[in-house]
Structure 1
C-alpha cells in the first residue's frame, strides 16, 4: 500500500524549498505527500498570514500536479498544533495504511522536546530529510530510541504501518521564509524563490506587502 507522508510547517509563505523537498521525498518513498499547515505552532511565532491566506497560497502553489496535496485539519483545530494529536486522528482514519512524518534534520534532532514524542512511533514512521553526506548530531536519548527503528530501504515502510525511521537524502534549497517576507515588505519581487502561481493573483502575497 502506498504510504501517506506528511510535511508540516507554517508555510508563511510556502516557497520552492518546501515544494522541492516534499517532491523529492515523494519520489524516494513512492508516497503521496500532504502539506499540512500548522494553526498555532508550539515552537514558533504566530504566522503573519491568516490560515485562510496560507491555504490560498498553498492551493495556488500545488496546481498542475497530483503528487503533493493539501491537508488543512490542523487549521480547523483550536489551540497549539501538536503533531501527536494529528497522527492519532490520521491513524484512526487510515487503518493500516503506512504513514510517514517528514521532518528536517534539525527538527528531528529536537524531537525529545516535543509533546508525547515517543508515542509518534506508534502511529507513523519518521522520514528525516537530510542533506546528502551530512550526519546530524542526536542526543543519547534520541539515539537510543531510534537505534532499533532505523531502516535504509524505503520499501520496508510500504509493509508496516508505523514505527521505523529512515533518512532521506534530499537536495535542500537554501530559501528563508523570513527573508522572503522582508523582501516583500520592501516592495521587492522574489520571483524565483516562490511558486509561480503565487504571482498570478496579487492578493495572495498582500499579507506581506507594506
Structure 2
C-alpha cells in the first residue's frame, strides 16, 4: 500500500520554499504529497488570508506539478483545527494498516510539545521532518521531545512503507531560506518578491491586493 503523505501548513502564502519541500518529499518517498491548508490553527495568530484564498493559491502553485495535490479537509472542518484530529480522521478513512505520514518543518518539530495531544500523533502517523538552513535538530532537543523521539528516528524511507505509523524521518535537501513572514512584509512594503513565489501566485496576490500589495488600478 502506498504511503499517504500530508503536508500541512497555513500556506499564507504558499511559496517556492514550500514547493521545494513538497517535491523533495515526493521524490524521496516515491509518493503523492497532499498539501493541506490549515483552517483555524489554534497555536498561532490567524492567517493573513482566509482559507478559501489560501487554498486557491495552493491550487495555482501546484497546477501541472506531478505528484502534488490539494486537500481541503481542514478548511471544511468547523471550529479549531488540530493535527491530531485530522490524522485520526485520515486514519479512519485509510484503515489501521495503511502507512500515513505528516510532513513538517524542523521548527514545527521543535515546537511539537505545544501541540494538542502531541504524543498521540505517533500512534496515528509517521513524521517526515524537512530541515531548514540552520536547523537546530542536531543540537540538544527539549528533554520530553528527545525522549519521545529517541527510538523513532530512521534514515530509510522504506521504514515508512513497512508500518503504519510511529517513525520519524529527516528529509535532507537544499532549502531556500525564504519564509511566508518575510514575503508578507515585503509585499506590504512594496518590495520585490521576485523568485520567491510561483508566478501564478504572485499574479493572484497582486490582482487581489493581498497582504497589503497594491492591487492594479481599475480601468
- Please give the TM-score of this superposition, normalised by the length of structure 2: 0.88
Q: SS in structure 1 opposite 2:209?
A: helix
C-alpha distance in structure 2 between counterparts of 1:21 and 1:28, whole Å: 10
C-alpha distance in structure 2 between counterparts of 1:200 and 1:38, whole Å: 22
1:68 to 2:71 alignment: no
Q: Judge conservation of contact 2:133–2:177 (CA < 8 Å) in 1.
A: no
Instruction: Give the equivalent residue in structure 2 for 1:78.
Output: 78
1:143 to 2:146 alignment: yes
Instruction: Give the equivalent residue in structure 1 for 2:194.
Output: 191
Q: Judge conservation of contact 1:105–1:136 (CA < 8 Å) in 2.
A: no
Bigger Cα displacement from structure 2, 183-192 vs 159-168: 183-192
Higher relative CO (CA 8 A, sep ≥ 6), structure 1 or 2? 1
Q: CA deviation at 1:183?
A: 2.1
Q: CA deviation at 1:98?
A: 0.9
| Cα distance change on mapping 1:133 and 1:184 into 2, 3 Å | closer
Q: Judge conservation of contact 1:87–1:120 (CA < 8 Å) in 2.
A: yes
| Cα distance change on mapping 1:132 and 1:193 into 2, 3 Å | closer
Question: RMSD between aligned alpha carbons?
Answer: 1.9
Q: CA deviation at 1:80?
A: 2.1
Q: CA deviation at 1:128?
A: 1.4
| Cα distance change on mapping 1:131 and 1:58 into 2, 3 Å | closer
Q: CA deviation at 1:8?
A: 1.2
Q: Judge conservation of contact 1:146–1:165 (CA < 8 Å) in 2.
A: yes
* Structure 1 residue ranges without an equivalent (≥5): none
After the TM superposition, list the runs of 4 or more consecutive aligned residues in structure 1 that deviate by more than 6 angstroms: none
Instruction: Give the equivalent residue in structure 1 for 2:89.
Output: 89
* Structure 2 residue ranges without an equivalent (≥5): 215-219
Instruction: Give the equivalent residue in structure 1 for 2:107.
Output: 106
C-alpha distance in structure 2 between counterparts of 1:195 and 1:121, whole Å: 33
C-alpha distance in structure 2 between counterparts of 1:186 and 1:148, whole Å: 46
Instruction: Give the equivalent residue in structure 2 for 1:170.
Output: 173
1:121 to 2:139 alignment: no
C-alpha distance in structure 2 between counterparts of 1:103 and 1:61, whole Å: 19
- Please give the TM-score of this superposition, normalised by the length of structure 1: 0.92
Provide Cα deviations, 1:56-91, integer angstroms capped at 9, x if missing partner.
Answer: 111110111231111111111122211000000000
Q: Judge conservation of contact 1:25–1:170 (CA < 8 Å) in 2.
A: no
Number of aligned residues: 210
Instruction: Give the equivalent residue in structure 2 for 1:30.
Output: 30
Instruction: Give the equivalent residue in structure 2 for 1:39.
Output: 39
